[in-house]
Amino acid sequence: METVLSGIRPTGNLHLGNYFGAVKNFLKMQHNYNCYFFIADWHSLTTHPTPENLHDNVRTVLSEYLAVGLDPEICTLYVQSDVPEISELYLLLNMNAYLGELERTTTFKEKARSQPENVNAALLTYPTLMCADIIIHKANKVPVGKDQEQNLEMARKFARRFNRMYKKEVFPLPAPFNFGADLVKVPGLDGTGKMGKSEGNGIYLSDDPKVIRKKVMRAVTDAGPTEENQTPPEVIENLFTLLNIVSSPDTEQYFRDAYAKCTIRYGDMKKQLAEDIIAFTTPIREKINDIYNNSDYLSEVTRMGAEKARLSAGKTLKEVRQLIGFKSF
Ligand code: ADP
Ligand code: TRP
């Protein structure tokens, strides 16, 4: 069975884009692949070094992952910093990672620009840590968004380099996981293309109904259709797309028909959309809260995750140490 791995930095709550664009697919994948899902808390230190928030951010993401249905009995769900083996592989990979190639990474250049006061070495070597994350479990596939494609390419490069250097195909080259027909792009409500954290237009799984209503009612629309059967502009198509994602097919069709007949009332459509989002998120939000407050459960989940991840990581590391030439006396 192929191994799939995905990491998420604990820097915020999950929004509908994260859920329908990625996490929902993870729920299926955990049954068909050997899956590793982890929270990249070391990575988050490259930009968010605040001891006050770190634990809480990890707890939040973990609770959300569990609430939506990642099953820690089926997949391996763990916190990066619970697996010290990753840091050893990271150190070893850094021996063969070169300043030039690291400096050329787009994510590094962007961060160096956006936080000039904190261009730290871990920011530079972010791709080697990410590579260690992936290859320590010999992952074959990594679901990544556009912004992470280059980092994954670097991971392949480092893995290939290691295999060549030590003349053994230790590591499979991790390929991007292709969601195919399951790839969903969740639009924003502000007329921009995509819902995103940095876009500031997220509807979060943890948002309460009042907040959701407010966000949806503020969605950008236009003056309305002027001719029958005209093609809706992007801002309106975005709302239909959201209906398609969270509402019943009848509901979407009802408003599409109303648009085509020029009888649509955007206010009604937004109200319906808000209620359908609320119906979808409410049970999840309640579950997130329960799990978040259940320290015993979270402690058991992370203990089990760390144990499974360390077992797999330890095996790889043993092989790596041997190849590099470490021997015990
Ligand atoms: P953000 O864009 O909010 O910063 P991240 O980059 O943390 O989100 O997203 C993590 C993953 O969630 C991405 O790799 C992508 O697969 C998915 N994702 C995020 N936003 C969307 C969206 N609007 N539509 C579809 N998928 C999305
Ligand atoms: N860099 C990824 C992001 O910002 C998170 C991440 C860390 C990751 N290690 C990974 C993703 C390994 C996939 C595989 O979204």
Q: How far apart are the CA of 107 and the centre of ligand 1, in A?
A: 16
Q: What is the pTM of this model?
A: 0.93
pLDDT in tens, 197-247: 888 899 999 999 999 999 999 999 999 999 999 999 999 999 999 999 999
- Tell which one of 4, 5, 8 to mutate to probe ligand 2, the residue whose CB is within 8 A of the most ligand atoms: 8
Which one of 111, 138, 141, 215 is the catalytic residue?
Answer: 111
Within 136-265, residue ranges assigned H as helices are: 149-165, 209-217, 234-246, 249-260
Q: What is the pLDDT of residue 68?
A: 97
Q: Is 197 a catalytic residue?
A: yes
Residue 182 confidence (pLDDT) above 90: no
Domain regions of the chain by residue span: 3-184+294-324, 209-289
pLDDT in tens, 120-162: 999 999 999 999 999 999 999 999 888 899 999 999 999 999 9
Q: Mind spelling out the 3-state secondary structure of 41-93?
A: HHHHCCCCCCHHHHHHHHHHHHHHHHHHCCCCCCCEEEEHHHCCHHHHHHHHH
Q: What is the pLDDT of residue 78?
A: 98
pLDDT in tens, 14-56: 999 999 999 999 999 999 999 999 999 999 999 877 899 999 9
- Tell which one of 8, 9, 11, 18 to mutate to probe ligand 1, the residue whose CB is within 8 A of the most ligand atoms: 18
Distance, CA of 260 to CA of 66 (rounded, Å): 41
Amino acid letter, residue 139? A
Is the domain spanning 3-184+294-324 CATH 3.40.50.620? The answer is yes
Q: Is 327 a catalytic residue?
A: no
SS3 label, residue 225 = coil
Architecture of domain 209-289: Orthogonal Bundle (1.10)
